[in-house]
Structure 1
Amino acid sequence: MKRLLNVHEAPIIVFTILITLLFSITSSDFFQFDNVKLILDQNISTFIVAIGMTMVILLGGMDLSVGSVLAVTATAVGLLLSHGIHPWIAALLGIIIGGLCGMVNGYFIAVRKIPDIIVTLATMYIFRGIAVGISGGTWMTNFPEGFRFFGQGKLFGISFPLLIALVLIAIFVYLLKFTRSGRRIYAIGGNGSAAKLAGIDVAKSKFKVYVLTGLLVGVASVIFASKVGSVQASTAGNALSFEVMAAVLIGGGSIFGGIGTVAGTMLGVLFMGIIKNGLIISKVSPFWVDASTGFLIILAIIINTLQRFRQNKGKEGELV
């Protein structure tokens, strides 16, 4: 039992089980296969974007622009499709555009050493403005039949977007846990100065993380546009930045960097999805959904602070 409680993701696992039981008791429709499938289906894009945000927060940074990157990428894909570009080519170009947006953020943050909050706050408005500008303020709709596969198709009897999400989760769990690049991200977030002294190219690692985050948002935007069937540049991904940051914190990540896992973040996304779905099924006012997210962020920070206090106390005890 002690070993289980010492697992980093233990608090979020316990909370997820408890909240699932609570909603299952209050509504007989909640714990049904179709509803579980709906929760996963509705949060596919969030799962994918949250992988990138995990790496950014592990560095001790933040990215306020991911929602706007999704908007500009999805809008660009919609425009390409409207001009007769093949769905697979349009999707690939969309992912590349996401990566280019990540390069812009990475250049100013890693190379020019401008604080991430300033850069991503600026690019949040710039990318959103570009999305609205290239769309002319109109909805992107009437996507071709072939494009629907990315958000609604099946491969080997499994939902294609869910399969993509699972593959990406597995890749980045491995990347962060078992590779040199992953250990460097943790090292930079834990102590940037010590990482430099250890010979780690901090700027290069940061740049890579922001590019990867942009590429992941690009993938999520293709799935988003295909699943929804339309894109409104001015509103697409409006709350995405805060949702994925909340998921990282709820999943055990530290806003100060160096602590967190992709698995914990995925549980954080799932937990938030369960809360939203459960409140809607229980016929609670949708206004309380946002309030509950804010409360969960505060709760997550309190739990993280207590965990760090316990860990530091444990280390001090070992030294004594």
Structure 2
Amino acid sequence: MKRISNIHEAPIMIFTVLVIVLFSIITPDFFAINNLKLILDQNTTMFIVAIGMTMVILLGGMDLSVGSVLAVTATSVGLFLSKGVPPIIAALLGVVIGVLCGMVNGYFIAVRKIPDIIVTLATMYIFRGVAVGISGGTWMNNFPDSFRFFGQGIVLGISFPLIIALLLIAVFIYLLKYTRGGRRIYSVGGNSSAAKLAGINVAGTKFKVYVLTGMLVGIASVIFAAKVGSVQASTAGNSLSFEVMAAVLIGGGSIFGGVGTIGGTMLGVLFMGIVKNGLIIAKVSPFWVDATTGFLIILAIVINTLQRARQNKGKEGDLV
């Protein structure tokens, strides 16, 4: 038990299992294979965007603009398709637009050293405004079937979006854990002054993280547009920023930076998806779904905080 308690993701793992057991008791339909597949499929976009948000929060930053980046990217893809651009080219251009949005955030935050909350709050409105402007306030829909494959396709019995999400998760877990770039992100988030003295390019590291986040949102936006089959610029991704930040914190991340893992964040996304799905299947009033989810988020974060405090106290005891 002591060994389990020292695992960083242990609280959210245990909490997720308890919630699954609870909903399985309340409603037998919850534990059906089709429903579990549905939970994974419904949260594909969240899984991908949360990878980027994990890296941002590891830096001790935040990105309020990811929902607006998704809106402007998905809207742009819809516009390209309406002009007869081939689906694969439209998808690639969407990812490029996501990267450009990340570059804008990274430039002002890393190079100009403007606080991230100010920059991303501003770009949240700018990108959303651009999305509404280029769409003319109309829905983007009637996407070709070949484009819909990106969000609805099946490969070997597994949804194509989920395959992409799993590949990206594996790649970024490796990058953060086993590469120099990943260690630099942890170092900058843990103590940027010490990282600078150690010769790490702090500004360059921050810039790259925001660019990668933009790229990931670009990929997620293509999947989002193809899955839903339509895009409304004014509402697409409205609550995405707060949901992915909540997932990172639930998964053991620290808003102060330097603490967190991709695996923990993915458990956080899964936990939120399970809670929402379970409440809906249990026929809880939609008005209570958000309130209940918020309460469970706070509870999960408190448990994680207590675990970190106990681990830090243990380390201090070892030093003494």
Q: TM-score range by the shorter chain?
A: over 0.9
Q: 1:246 touches 1:297 (CA, 8 Å); kept in 2?
A: yes
Structure 2 letter corresponding to 1:222: V
Show structure 2 runs of 5+ residues with no match: none
Q: 2:12 touches 2:304 (CA, 8 Å); kept in 1?
A: no
Cα distance in 1, alignment partners of residues 107 and 296 from structure 2: 33
Structure 1 letter corresponding to 2:78: G
Residue 283 of structure 2 corresponds to residue 283 of structure 1: yes
Deviations 1:17-60 (A, max 9, x none): 00000000000110001100110110000000000000000000
Aligned to 1:242: 242
- SS, match of residue 127 in structure 2: helix
- SS, match of residue 172 in structure 2: helix
Aligned to 2:58: 58
Q: 2:109 touches 2:119 (CA, 8 Å); kept in 1?
A: yes
Pairs aligned (count): 320
Residue 127 of structure 2 corresponds to residue 127 of structure 1: yes
Cα distance in 2, alignment partners of residues 55 and 306 from structure 1: 23
Cα offset, 1:159, TM superposition:
1.2
Cα distance in 1, alignment partners of residues 92 and 124 from structure 2: 22
Aligned to 1:81: 81
Deviations 1:72-97 (A, max 9, x none): 00000000000000000000000000
Structure 2 letter corresponding to 1:190: G
Structure 2 letter corresponding to 1:44: T
Stretches (4+) displaced over 4 A: none
Residue 110 of structure 2 corresponds to residue 110 of structure 1: yes
TM-score by length of 2: 0.98
Cα offset, 1:148, TM superposition:
0.7
Deviations 1:114-145 (A, max 9, x none): 00000000000000000000000000010011
Cα distance in 1, alignment partners of residues 158 and 241 from structure 2: 28
Aligned to 2:262: 262
Aligned to 1:9: 9
Cα offset, 1:157, TM superposition:
3.2
Aligned to 1:44: 44
Cα offset, 1:301, TM superposition:
3.4
Q: 2:65 touches 2:123 (CA, 8 Å); kept in 1?
A: yes
Cα offset, 1:319, TM superposition:
1.4
Aligned to 1:35: 35
Cα offset, 1:109, TM superposition:
0.2
| Superposition map of 1:1-320 within 5 A | 1-320=1-320
Show structure 1 runs of 5+ residues with no match: none
Cα distance in 2, alignment partners of residues 147 and 175 from structure 1: 30
Cα distance in 2, alignment partners of residues 194 and 118 from structure 1: 25
Structure 1 letter corresponding to 2:155: L
- SS, match of residue 30 in structure 2: coil
Structure 1 letter corresponding to 2:148: R
What is the root-mean-square deviation of aligned Cα atoms in Å? 0.9
Cα offset, 1:267, TM superposition:
0.4
Cα offset, 1:318, TM superposition:
1.1
- SS, match of residue 29 in structure 1: helix
Structure 1 letter corresponding to 2:147: F
TM-score by length of 1: 0.98
Structure 2 letter corresponding to 1:241: S
Q: 1:254 touches 1:304 (CA, 8 Å); kept in 2?
A: no
